[in-house]
Amino acid sequence: METWGGDQVDAAVASCLAALRPVADQDWAAVKAGRLEWSCHTTAFHIAEDLFSYAGQLAGRAQEDYVPVELVLEGDPGSFGLLQVIETMGVLLATTVRATPPGVRAFHPYPFRSADREGFAAMGVAEVLLHTHDIAEGLGFAYEPPAELCEDLLTRLFPHVKPGPAPWPTLLWATGRGELPDRAPVTEWRWRNNLVIETERLTLTGVRPAAARDLNLGGDGGFTWSEDGPYEGTRRAAGMLTQAYEAGVHRPEFGMFALVRRQDGRAIGGMGFHGAPDEEGRVEVGYDLVPSARGQGYATEALRTLAHWALERDDVRVVFATVDRGNEPSRAVVTRAGFTQVGDDGTHVAYVLRR
């Protein structure tokens, strides 16, 4: 899977500049930007501010809060000057994303208090595309960015949103800027960066729908795998995630995680849930490891951490696992992780861990 980030920031900014330069001779300060309360001038500056802020967060590796710095314009640069600032800040973010190693995360408040380089790139692209739309709407002309860019954005920041008939109208609907047939209007929204959960030796990295689709089709999902990975169970789980996303029932925190070994940055397996908790607070977990990583306690370590993470939530009361009866190593993993056997039908053995 090709690295996603810097090129997409460049493409979003190029789309913005191509749309707005022909109308830069108008008075942006006198016109409200679409449905926003801001003027088109303020909205354009906001685009530049966000690009600058995301680059700063990622470059500075901020962990607890925003880096205490702000972008200040010198004088009144006018609309043409604002576009130059957007272009410059776009280069800054794209360059920072390209220079940031995979796995590095920095603070962003929603929803899990961090984002990786792909997340910051996606947030930058979202700010550019959506606010270019707002400015265009305010100035009275139509704007539509490349469909592929919008689809990429939906799979990275809106994994909880069912794909619609076309990516751009779906993105506008998901952010309260448009309508879709048979869907209620959106009045409040948030994007969702992927979740990571740390253990002593591993990082459980939430797999985005785009990565899951690539894994299911035989790719690497953007991860650097151990030589004998990914294993077949990981690819099947990626297919389940892809189906859930396309059906609009995917909840990212109850999806799939790649088990990334911190000492070398290599993915050694997959672990995750078969779906969101049911009405009784019951959620099922599954996992696999590449052969070379087995017998070293990685699966037990990951399962114990993920199960306890789930049980700390208000909507989970029981974590459930089913293991093939003849799979003694896997049965040992769930037992060491604290699960109790509750059933055996001769083919599969059922285990639970309760709150």
Which residue ranges form the domains of the chain, and what is each CATH number? 6-174 (1.20.120.450), 196-354 (3.40.630.30)
User: Running along the chain, 355 residues long, what does each successive block of 10 average in pLDDT?
Assistant: 96 98 97 97 98 98 95 92 98 98 94 96 98 98 98 97 97 97 94 96 98 97 95 95 96 97 97 96 97 96 98 97 95 97 96 96
Handedness of CA 93, 154, 107, 35 (dihedral sign): positive
Residue 100 has what pLDDT? 98
pLDDT of residue 263: 95
Determine the Cα–Cα distance for residues 11 and 59; give it in Å rounded to an integer: 21
CA distance 8 to 227: 30
334, 321 contact by CB (below 8 A): yes
What DSSP letter does each residue of 130-173 carry, written as one string?
HHHHHHHHHHT------HHHHHHHHHHH-TTSPP-SSHHHHHHH
Tabulate helix, strand, coil % of the chain (nearest 5). 45, 15, 40
pLDDT at position 110, please? 87
CB 354 within 8 Å of CB 321: no
Confirm whether pTM is higher than 0.85. Answer: yes
d(CA 222, CA 28): 41
- 130-168 burial, b at 16+ Cβ within 10 Å, e below that, comes to bbbbbbbbbbeeebebbeebbbbbbbbbbbbbbbbeebb
